[in-house]
Amino acid sequence: MKEKVAKILSDAESIACFMHKNPDGDAIGSCLAIKNAFKEKVKVYCPGKLPEIFMFLPGAEEVVQFSSFSEVKPAQVFLVLDCSDEKRIPDFDRSKAEAVIVVDHHETNEYFGDYNIVEPERASTAEIVFDILKLTKKPITKDVATCIFTGLYTDTGGFKYSSTNAETFQTAKELVELGAVPWKVAVEIYESNPPRRIRLLAECLKTLRLFLNDKVAVLYVTREMYERTGALPEDTEDFVNYARGIKGVEVGVFLRELEPEGVKVSFRSKNEVNVAKVAKALGGGGHDHAAGCELNCSLEEAIDKIINLLAQEMSGGQNV
């Protein structure tokens, strides 16, 4: 399948590359790797706003940020990266392409493409994109390597998560040899916080609550906190890790209020609890140890629902 997709991409006259809304480093890095490899024939689309933190990536300036799918031009191939289902790209209209290709590593992927490469055992989508690019025989430039490295680096939390294995470092080694500079990516991603983000974090940490024998930690951010600190929704990236990072905590939960209503929830577990199951029960999805969903209720109602589901999940049949 990878050979086939490599050939389709090489032969295509136009490729539109899509990331999911609220994109992370893996989604953006994967798309921009394709852009830097195939240049003019690729247009990269982001539903909504591209987080500022990733503007250092080569090609980021050219990403088309759209609010309505009518702004998307038809292309021979729609390439959807790091996206488990169509709903994560609002009003996705596949009739604007001859073929839809899906490349992803989410276990909950719905195989909505005409061609699907889904490898849940991989730590990032960017690594699968790397495999495909190698098959196209295109030279992997420093720019391409930097984009792929960023995807791998961010989706492993800087080589910390359980998805990190010998293969991850093998891939990282290849990318560094091709010109990616780990410390530069690290500084851009983790040491370039705008002050407003740190002010919001200070507010968020005050909300800490522990549940279920201190095995679940919950943090949240309200609309009012955004207003007070001048922070943006994207500024909460990684806040959930402060919840999971507490000794003895198995599941970290982070909630943020959406405009004008609703709540976005992120789950992170250490090893025992499958949070993808919980997220899926609430209409979302993700991986065993990192998942999310959106709920149309108040913060307190959301916390109630989540704690109830987690109580069942954590008391019932143990799962890995």
Inter-axis angle of helices 142-155 and 166-177, nearest 10: 150
Structure token digits, residue 204: 């968020």
Q: Enter the DSSP assignment of 73.
A: P
Residue nearest to Mn ion (CB): 26
Single-letter amino acid code for the residue at 167? E
**Nearer CB in complex with Mn ion: 124/229:** 124
User: Using alpha carbons only, how large is the chain's radius of gyration in Å?
Assistant: 19
Q: How far is the CB of 124 from Mn ion (least distance, A)?
A: 5
Structure token digits, residue 248: 């003895």
CB-based contact 251:244 (threshold 8 Å): yes
Instruction: Give every CB contact of residue 305 below 8 A, 6+ residues apart in sequence.
Output: 282, 295, 297
The two beta strands, 64-66 and 42-47, are parallel
Q: How far is the CB of 223 from Mn ion (least distance, A)?
A: 28
Edge-to-edge order in the sheet of strand 97-104: 64-66, 42-47, 15-18, 75-81, 97-104, 115-118
**Nearest-angstrom CA–CA distance, 112 and 286:** 16
**Nearer CB in complex with Mn ion: 12/89:** 89
Q: How far is the CB of 15 from Mn ion (least distance, A)?
A: 20
Q: How far is the CB of 131 from Mn ion (least distance, A)?
A: 15
Q: How far is the CB of 123 from Mn ion (least distance, A)?
A: 8
Q: How far is the CB of 290 from Mn ion (least distance, A)?
A: 9
Cα torsion at 42, 45, 50, 53 (round to 10°)? Answer: -20
**Nearer CB in complex with Mn ion: 155/250:** 155
Q: How far is the CB of 106 from Mn ion (least distance, A)?
A: 7
What is the per-residue DSSP string for 124-171?
A: -HHHHHHHHHHHTT----HHHHHHHHHHHHHHTTTTTSTT--HHHHHH
**Nearer CB in complex with Mn ion: 82/86:** 82
**Nearest-angstrom CA–CA distance, 289 and 271:** 7
The two beta strands, 216-221 and 263-269, are unpaired
**Nearer CB in complex with Mn ion: 85/257:** 85
Q: How far is the CB of 13 from Mn ion (least distance, A)?
A: 28
**Nearer CB in complex with Mn ion: 80/217:** 80
**Nearer CB in complex with Mn ion: 125/266:** 125
**Nearer CB in complex with Mn ion: 26/250:** 26
Q: Which residues in this chain contact Mn ion in the complex, by CB under 5 A?
A: 26, 82, 125, 155
